[in-house]
A and B are shown apart, each in its own frame.
Chain A
Amino acid sequence: MQPDHPLNDLLRKDRIPHIWCSGCGIGTIFSACLNAIKASEIDLSKVVMVSGIGCSGRGAGYINVDSFHTTHGRAIPFATGMKLANPSLHVIVFSGDGDLFAIGGNHFIHAARRNIELTVICVNNLNYGMTGGQAAATTPNRAKTTTTPLGNPESPFNLPLLAYASGATYVARWTMLHTRDLTNSIKEALQKKGFSFIEALCPCPVNYGRRNKLRPLDVFKAYQQKSIVKNGANPIEIDADSDKGIIVGKFIDTERPTYTEMYNKIYRSKG
C-alpha cells in the first residue's frame, strides 16, 4: 500500500491533480506553506486561506481548511474584513504578483499601512501566467511577454521595498529552491502578529521562460548560483531585477501595534 503523503490532511485530495504546469514552482511554494502551517501548530480550524485570481490564486482550492477564492486583486480586503470580524482566525493570503501588485496593489499598501494581521504570500513568477504570459508589475525591464513582444519598456516593483515602505512588520524573500528557508519564514510570519509579507520567486517556464530563452533548469540554476542570502539587508538595495544577484533573506522583523490593538485601545476601552 502506498504510504500517505505527509500533507494529506491539509490537502483536498479530491481536487488533485492540480492545474499547475510541469516546471512551475507554485506547487513547491504551496507545499512550503502547508508545511509551515503544520509546523506552526496553529489550530487548523482557525486557519483560513484567501486567494485572488490567477495560477497562484488557485491555492485556496487545494488546501483543506476554510478557503476563499475571491475576485481579481481583492483577496486582501476580503481577508481584512474576515480578520477584523473574527480576530481569532489566522488568515493567510496566498496569491500571485499580478493579482496582489497590479490590480490589487492599492489594497496591499493599505493593509500593510494599517498593520492588519495577515500573512501575505506572493508567488512572483514575473508575469500573468493564467492568461498566457502578459507583462506584470513585476516583469523585468526589457523582458518579452505577449504584451511586450519587443521587450518591457517598464520597470518592475521591488516588492519587499514596497512592503517595507507601506509598513509591513515582517518582510522576506526566497526563491522556490529555498524551501526550508521559505517554510521557516512562513511559519515565523504565521506566529507573528501584524502584517507579514513573503515574496517567493517562482519559475514560469511555459509562459515567461520560453519567451525569454530561459529553460526550466536555467531558472533553477540561476536561483542556486545567483542567490545571495542577506538577512537584514536594506530593502532599498535588493532590487529583484539586479545583475548583481538575487538577494534573498528575511529583511524586516519588527513590531508595531496592529489595527485591532489600536482599535480596541482607542474605541473599546471606554466602558
Chain B
Amino acid sequence: MKGRVRTGAHYWTGDIACAEGALAAGCMFFGGYPITPATEIAEHMSERLPEVLGTFIQMEDEIAAMAAILGASWAGAKSMTATSGPGFSLMMENLGLGICTETPCVVVNVQRPGPSTGLPTLGAQGDMMQARWGSHGHYEIIAMSPCSPQETFYQTIEAFNLSEIYRVPVLIMTDEIVGHMSEKVIVPDAKDIVILNRPKPKGKKENFKPYAAGRNGIPPMPSAGEGYNVHITGLTHDERGYPVMTPEAQVEMVQRIVDKIRNNCHDIIKTESHLLEDADIVVVSYGISSRTSLSAVYEARKCGIKAGLLRLITVWPFPCEEIRALAKRVKGFVTVEINLGQIHLEVERCSEGKAPAILVGHPGGTIITPDDVLKVLKEAF
C-alpha cells in the first residue's frame, strides 16, 4: 500500500499535484464528474484514495458531486471535488448550502474560457468573480490561485486547513495551463506538513447547539453518528440549528458567517511581493498570469522602469489593505489576468482613485506573455 504523502521529487502536472496535495492534507472522500481540464484530478483520486482507505465516487453530475462532498464532510471525512467552468456553475447551488451550514470542503476549479462551453482544452481566469459571488445571497469565501504544480500541491493542503478551521468551502482557482503543465514537485516528509482539523465539540451532548460561536466566531462541529442529534439546514437558523424566519435571525446568522472570515483576514490572506520596496508601478496578478508578470517586471527593471509585483496567493478575501497602502505611494497599478477585468475591478476599488489602474487582460485561450505586460509597463504612466 502506498502512503498518503509521497515524499520525494516528482515530475507532476498541476492536476496531479493537486490530488497529491489533497491526500497529504488528509482528504478521505472525492465526489467528482469528468470535465476537461480537471478530469485528471478525479482519475488520480480514483486510483489513490482506496490506497489510503478513502472513498472515490463519480457522481451523475456536478450538482450531485457538490452535494456528496457536503454529506461526506458531515460524516467526518475531509472531502473534495474538482471541476471546470460548466461544472463550477452547477456547483453554485450546493456551494451555498456548504457556506450556510458551515461545512468544510475543497472545490477545485481548473479554469477554462467561457461563457458556456467556451474553449474546453485551453486556459483562462474568467471565473474569479463567480468564485466570489456565484452562489446567491451575501457571504464571504476563501479562494486561492496557484501559479505552478509545486504551489498547487502546497495550496491544496492550505485550502483543506483553512476550510477546516474556518468551516467554509475553500476554492482553488487554478487554470488549464497550470493544471496541465508538468514541472518538478518536491513533496516534503509527512512530519513537515502542517495538518489542521475542524474544531470539535467538548462537553455534554444533550441540547447541543451546533451554531453557537466558538473561538474566532467558529462553532465546533460534530459529525453525524457522534450522538449530538444536530439539525442542520440551509434555511436561516439560530444557534440550535433550527429554522427561524425573521430578519433578526438573518442578521445574526449572516453577520457571523461573514465576520468569521472578515475578522480573520490577517490570518487568511497571503500575498507575495517582488521588488515592491521602491516600485512606482505595481503589477497585481495571480495564478499563471503572475508568472509571466514576474518576467515582465524583471525585464522592465532592466529598462530602468521601477516595476514590482504583488502576487495574490489567496485572491478572496481580497487584500484591500495592501492595495490601499500601495495606492498612496505609487504611480499606478497594472492588473494582469486572463479575463477582461475582474480582479482589476477590485484593484480599482481599493486604490480609491489615489493611483490609476490599467488592465492587461485577454478573454482566454492563451497566456498573457511577458511582452504583453512589458509593453504596457513601458507605455503607461
Contact = CB atoms under 8 A, between A and B. Distances in A.
Q: 10 tightest A-B contacts by CB?
A: A81-B71, A81-B68, A82-B71, A77-B64, A85-B72, A85-B75, A77-B67, A69-B233, A267-B50, A81-B72
A131 interface: no
Interface string A73-84: 010111111111
Interface string B30-67: 01000000000000000000100101010111011101
A173 B65 CA distance: 30
B224 A86 contact: yes
Given A70-B97, A89-B224, 17 more contacts: A14-B240, A60-B231, A61-B231, A61-B243, A68-B74, A69-B235, A74-B64, A76-B64, A77-B59, A78-B70, A80-B64, A80-B71, A81-B29, A81-B79, A84-B29, A84-B72, A267-B50
A175 to B, nearest CB: 29
A71 to B, nearest CB: 5
Interface string A7-28: 0000010110000000000000
B33 to A, nearest CB: 11
A121 interface: no
Nearest to B49: A267
B52 to A, nearest CB: 10
Contacts, number: 142
B232 A69 contact: yes
B227 interface: yes
B28 interface: yes
Interface string A137-181: 000000000000000000000000000000000000000000000
Interface residues of A, number: 39
Contacts of B59: 77, 80, 110
Interface in A212-266: 259, 263
Contacts of B234: 69-71
Contacts of A89: 75, 224-225
Given A81-B71, A82-B75, A85-B28, A71 B93 contact: yes
A45 B222 CA distance: 12
A88 interface: yes
Given A82-B72, A85-B71, A66 B64 contact: no
Q: Which of A85, A89, A107, A110 has the most CB of B within 10 A?
A: A85
Interface in A82-127: 82-86, 88-89, 106-107, 110
Interface residues of B, number: 46
A48 interface: yes
A199 B55 CA distance: 30
A268 interface: yes
A268 B64 contact: no
Given A81-B29, A85-B75, A110-B64, A71 B230 contact: no
Nearest to A19: B243
A86 B29 CA distance: 10
A90 to B, nearest CB: 9
A211 B59 CA distance: 39
B53 A78 contact: no
Interface in B221-247: 223-235, 240, 242-243
